[in-house]
């Protein structure tokens, strides 16, 4: 059997990443008779964010999606997902933001280097394990690193960790795409 697809998609805001990703999931679900799983990382902290989440939900209503709310601690997913799944995770940037502020031993995780690294390793091994079970993964993230560095230690840490995580995702993926307003550029792999 061929290796399951691991697709990584980044792009700017409103570039059509999520739409492209959802179409890709539909394709795989139909061809391989798989169940659509949606890992939601967004937290509705204001009304705009609530609307944003609702729009993504409406987009998914036509098909049968199983939505798993997982703002942090992705390791919890391993037992919640069937091997007959195709998984869409949207998106890594909001997840990483959430993880920064998880409290571990009285410290926020971004200030607790060892806790942060442990979390990162378990996230990576969870994703790897899902993929090794033959589950196709589609992971969406954002391009936010093409600007000046920040004086804020917190933002600098976030940028560094996001960049490193993206590098890891690209390394693991079978296909890596940068989306520019609906036009995909294939950095790795090709259109199937």
Choose the stretch contacting other proteins; rule: CB under 8 A; options: 18-26, 55-63, 93-101, 167-175: 167-175
- The beta strands (E) that lie in 18-83 are given as 35-40, 65-69
CB of 30 to other proteins, least distance (A): 30
How many C-beta atoms lie closer than 10 Å to residue 104's C-beta?
14
Which residue number, 2 or 146, has a Cβ lying nearer to other proteins?
A: 146
* Locus of tokens 């690294």: 117
CB of 67 to other proteins, least distance (A): 28
Question: Can you tell me whether residue 143 is helix, strand or coil?
Answer: coil
Among 19, 56, 131, 166, the active-site one is 56
155 binds other proteins (CB under 8 A): no
Choose the stretch contacting other proteins; rule: CB under 8 A; options: 56-64, 94-102, 128-136, 143-151: 143-151
DSSP for 54-111 reads: HHHHHHHHTS-EEEEE-SS-GGGGTTTS-TTEEEEEE-HHHHHHHHHT-EETTEEGGG
Main-chain dihedrals φ then ψ at residue 145, nearest 5 degrees: -105, 5
187 binds other proteins (CB under 8 A): yes
134 among annotated binding-site residues: no
143 binds other proteins (CB under 8 A): yes
CB of 144 to other proteins, least distance (A): 8
User: Is 56 considered catalytic here?
Assistant: yes
Q: Which of 145, 153, 155, 182 binds other proteins (CB under 8 A)?
A: 145
171 binds other proteins (CB under 8 A): yes
Q: Which strand (E) or helix (H) includes residue 125?
A: helix 113-132
Give whole-number Cα distances, 128 to 75, 101, 172, in Å. Answer: 11, 25, 8
Question: Can you tell me whether residue 186 is helix, strand or coil?
Answer: strand
Task: At 173, list the tokens.
Answer: 């993926």
Binding interface with other proteins (CB under 8 A): 143-149, 159-160, 162-164, 166-167, 169-171, 176, 178, 187-188
Binding site residue list: 11-18, 40-42, 69, 90
Q: Kindly list the catalytic residues.
A: 56
């Amino acid at each position: 059997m061929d290796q399951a697809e691991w697709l990584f998609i980044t792009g700017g805001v409103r570039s059509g990443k999520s739409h492209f990703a959802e179409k890709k999931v539909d394709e795989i679900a139909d061809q391989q008779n798989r169940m659509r799983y949606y890992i939601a990382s967004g937290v509705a902290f204001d009304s705009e964010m609530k609307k944003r989440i609702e729009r993504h939900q409406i987009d998914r209503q036509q098909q049968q999606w199983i939505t798993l709310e997982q703002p942090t601690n992705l390791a919890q997913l391993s037992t919640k997902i069937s091997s007959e799944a195709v998984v869409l995770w949207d998106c890594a940037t909001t997840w990483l933001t959430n993880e920064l502020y998880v409290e571990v031993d009285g410290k926020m995780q971004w200030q607790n280097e060892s806790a942060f690294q442990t979390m990162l390793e378990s996230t990576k091994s969870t994703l790897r394990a899902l993929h090794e079970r033959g589950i196709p993964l589609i992971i969406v993230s954002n391009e936010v690193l093409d600007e000046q560095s920040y004086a804020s230690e917190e933002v600098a840490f976030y940028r560094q960790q996001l960049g490193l995580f993206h590098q890891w995702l690209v390394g693991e993926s079978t296909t890596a795409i940068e989306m520019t307003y609906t036009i995909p550029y294939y950095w790795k792999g090709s259109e199937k």
